[in-house]
Every structure is written in C-alpha cells, then in structure tokens.
C-alpha cells in the first residue's frame, strides 16, 4: 500500500469491530474510518467479527486475534483502532499479542477533541473528559504515562500535568470542574444580558460533518473552519444574522454529535451543548445525501432531549440536497426545509422558516406598579397598548400589551402574563 510522503507520516491503522447485533456494525465502522482519518491516521483496512458477546480477555476471539497479529506483522501497522470501548486488561492483552498499539473508540474521539479544541473552555472540557476516562481505566499497576503525547489517542494532558496517582487525578478533575463552573457563570451572565436585550438565539445543532459550520459561514460570513472532517469545530461560535424582515437573531454553532457518543463526553461538553438548551429556535441539520440521514436526526433529537431542549422549536434542515439522489424520499413537514449550504440553495426558505418561528415581540400582562413608577405607565402608553389602568391601595394596577425587551426591565411587577 503506497504511503504519501509528508513531514510526518500518518499512522497506518487497522479498524476492528465486534458485531454482537446491538447496532449496525458496518455503518459504525464506516463512521470510525472517518474519525480515524480526522485524527490523522491512514486506514489500511477494516475487520468485523460476528460474536454473541466480546471475549473478556481480548475482546475478539483467539482466531481473529491471530489474524490481526498476522496482518500487523506483514504490513508493519502502527495502530489498531477498535470500534468499541475496551477495558484496560483487554488493551494490554491485545497489545501484547499483536505488538501493536491499541486505541478504542472513546480514546479516538477524545484525541480528536484534544486536536480540535481552540478556546480555553474547550481545552478544559477536553482535559476533564480525558481524565475522567483515564480514572475509570486505572489499574493496580497504574497508567503508563510515558505513552501520552506519542500518537493518535494520546494527545491532550501529558506527563507534566498528570501522575498515575488516583488522588492527584481526582484533585485535577475537581479543579477543572471549578474552572468550568466559573466559565459557566460568565456564560449565564451573557445569556441574561442577551435576554434583557430581547436577543433571539438560533442554535445550529446536528450530526458532525453535516455542514453546520458551512451554513454559519453562508448565512453570516463568519469565516468558521468548514472542513470535510468529523468534529471540525468543537467550540460554540456566535454571529449576528440579519433577517429579510429587518429583524436580527444570534446564530450559534455547536459541537457536532456522533452515534454512540460516550456519556462522559456529553457530560464534559454539556456547557457547550447547553447553547442549544437555551436557544429560542434550533436548526437540526442532517446530511440529506447520506443513507443515515434519519439516524442523524434521531441521534440529535435524543441528545437534545437529554439536555432538556426537546420542547424547543426545532426546524429539520436537510442539507446537501444538491447531492441527494432521491429528494422525493425525504420526509416533509411544516418545520422542515431542504437546502445546500455550500451552494446557497434554499437559504431564503430557511430564513423565512426562522422568521415564522420568531418569539413574539410583545406580551399581554397584568402589572402592579408602585405609585413612584408613573414613568412606566407613560412608556406603555407610548410604545405599547394600555388596556386598563386602576389606582388601588397597593399601587397602580395595569393591564397592557408590552414590548418584551421593556418587560424584562420590570419583571418584578408582573402579576400574570399570557
């Protein structure tokens, strides 16, 4: 197999999967191939073994392990990437039998996260996820820290930051959580400021590599990295978007989802994904040209439900429709639109759909105001609709239709709203 010459040769990897029938192993292995390429590996080949359950010691059966060993020796492979999560003993046993380094699915995803995180928050989240994974994989002999920083599956916090001592790792995890809490507080302050200004948030979510960053670039000229790679962006990017009706919304890109994403990764990146939970409108993007587009929509919605965002207004966006061979097979409903973010097809229809779901700019409320706040009544007369005004012993009782932004400044005086 020819190797491309460059400054640093990519690691030559064999992808391995055990098919127990719990999920579509071939589809998952195809996704693993994209993940491996994103991490910088050159995929030599793929191997699937059908078993009722994985082998406790080596995950694959003894015959398959011999086959893997033979492939590694004859082709000088650098890496074995398993499409499953392996135990520390399984990793050690496979490495000993094949004399080849082993990375499991979780390690590979963490490696890509470490490679792609750019902001300080993203880097903290990556380190937290890696340490949590490492803590669950510590054995009595400790972790071989010397292997950190030496190839795919090893990027991120290195020997200078970590020790094999569990207590040290737990202290570091606690410190990271505190740092992330502080960042979360700042994020919450920003959200409250946006709410007071009446800013509508539109979050772009979806399966990774479906064109989310390309859509953000097309709509706003944000200049966000838009490569045909999984997890090309890990940090949320917010940009203002002017709508055809003259209104303005804040468009937020988020980290892409992936099938069988380990729960610890969802937790570690929750503060990033929470941008979707706090959005007014969610654009759920899938790749219309992929046979897995229905799975992409389903996986995204499952994670949105986990984040408590399932009740939000969700618009299904079928991207790459110019590449789809059978557009007539795509499901159509009121809250869906077909586009090509790269070619600008269907963008006007998408903007109209966003406008259609914008939250109301005004709200009908009953207020009880102190007599000293007569200026509020004057403001309502000027910019809202004063339906009823009554002077009582407790203050001025008002029923009115009030601008949302103005209402945010006098929330403590609201009796009821509808």
Per residue in 245-299, pLDDT (tens digit) is 777 888 888 777 777 777 667 665 665 666 677 788 999 999 888 888 888 888 7
Residue 164 or 53, more confident: 53
Q: What percent of the chain stands above pLDDT 70?
A: 79
Q: What pLDDT is attached to residue 326?
A: 52
* CB contact at 8 A, 318 and 338: yes
**What's the CA gap between 264 and 267, in Å, rounded?**
5
Per residue in 330-378, pLDDT (tens digit) is 667 778 899 999 999 999 999 999 988 887 667 788 999 998 888 888 8
**DSSP states of 163-195 as a string?**
-S-HHHHHHHHHHHHHHHHHHHHHHHHHHHHHH
Residues in the chain, total:
418
**What's the CA gap between 54 and 158, in Å, rounded?**
31
Domains, the chain, ordered by start: 12-109 (3.40.50.11060), 117-180 (no CATH), 198-356 (3.40.50.300), 362-417 (3.30.70)
Mean pLDDT of 300-307: 80
Mean pLDDT of 79-92: 92
Residue 207 or 8, more confident: 207
Per residue in 371-406, pLDDT (tens digit) is 888 888 888 888 778 888 999 998 999 998 887 777
Q: What pLDDT is attached to residue 380?
A: 84
pLDDT band at 90 (very low <50, low <70, confident <90, very high): very high
Whole-prediction pTM: 0.66
**CA dihedral defined by 261, 262, 268, 274, rounded to 10 degrees?**
40
Q: What percent of the chain stands above pLDDT 90?
A: 26
**What's the CA gap between 13 and 91, in Å, rounded?**
15
- What DSSP element (H or E) covers 214? helix 212-220
Closest CA to 103 of 39, 55, 162: 39
**Beta strands 237-242 and 248-253: pairing type?**
antiparallel
Is 166's pLDDT higher than 50?
Answer: yes
Mean pLDDT of 20-29: 87
Q: What pLDDT is attached to residue 93?
A: 94
Per-state percent for the chain, helix, strand, coil, to nearest 5? 40, 25, 35
* CB contact at 8 A, 202 and 410: no
Average pLDDT, the chain: 80
- What DSSP element (H or E) covers 316? strand 313-319
Mean pLDDT of 14-28: 90
Per residue in 140-163, pLDDT (tens digit) is 333 344 444 456 666 655 444 445
Tokens standing for residue 383: 């910019």
**What's the CA gap between 56 and 217, in Å, rounded?**
47
Q: What pLDDT is attached to residue 330?
A: 67
């Amino acid at each position: 197999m020819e190797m491309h010459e460059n400054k640093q040769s990519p690691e030559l990897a064999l992808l391995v999967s055990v098919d127990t029938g719990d999920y579509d192993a071939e589809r998952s292995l195809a996704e693993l191939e994209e993940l491996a390429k994103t991490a910088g590996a050159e995929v030599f080949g793929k191997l699937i073994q059908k078993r009722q359950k994985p082998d406790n010691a080596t995950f694959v059966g003894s015959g398959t392990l011999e086959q893997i060993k033979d492939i590694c020796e004859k082709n000088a492979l650098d890496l074995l990437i398993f499409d499953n999560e392996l135990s520390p003993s399984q990793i050690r046993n496979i490495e000993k039998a094949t004399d080849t380094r082993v990375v499991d699915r979780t390690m590979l995803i963490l490696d890509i996260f470490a490679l792609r995180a750019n902001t300080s928050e993203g880097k903290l989240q990556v380190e937290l996820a890696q340490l949590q994974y490492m803590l669950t994989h510590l054995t009595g002999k400790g972790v071989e820290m010397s292997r950190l920083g030496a190839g795919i599956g090893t990027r991120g916090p290195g020997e200078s930051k970590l020790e094999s001592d569990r207590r040290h790792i737990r202290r570091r995890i606690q410190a990271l959580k505190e740092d992330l809490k502080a960042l979360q507080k700042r994020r919450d302050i920003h959200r409250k400021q946006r709410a007071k200004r009446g800013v509508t948030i539109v979050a772009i979510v979806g399966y990774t590599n479906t064109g989310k960053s390309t859509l953000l670039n097309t709509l706003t000229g944000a200049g966000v990295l838009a490569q045909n790679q999984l997890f090309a962006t890990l940090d949320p990017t917010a940009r203002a978007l002017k709508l055809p009706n003259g209104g303005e919304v804040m468009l937020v890109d988020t980290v892409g989802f992936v099938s069988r994403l380990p729960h610890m990764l969802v937790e570690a990146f929750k503060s990033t994904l929470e941008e979707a939970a706090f959005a007014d409108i969610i654009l759920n993007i899938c790749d219309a040209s992929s046979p897995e587009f229905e799975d992409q929509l389903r996986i995204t919605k499952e994670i949105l439900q986990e984040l408590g965002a399932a009740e939000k207004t969700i618009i299904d966006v079928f991207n790459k429709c110019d590449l789809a061979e059978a557009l007539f097979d795509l499901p159509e409903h009121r809250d869906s639109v077909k586009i090509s973010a790269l070619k600008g097809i269907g963008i006007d229809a998408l903007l109209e759909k966003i406008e259609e779901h914008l939250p109301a700019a005004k709200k009908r409320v009953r207020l009880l105001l102190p007599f000293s706040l007569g200026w509020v009544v004057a403001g309502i007369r000027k910019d809202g609709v004063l339906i009823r005004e009554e002077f009582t012993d407790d203050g001025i009782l008002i029923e009115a239709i009030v601008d949302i932004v103005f209402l945010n400044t006098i929330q403590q005086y609201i009796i009821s709203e509808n």
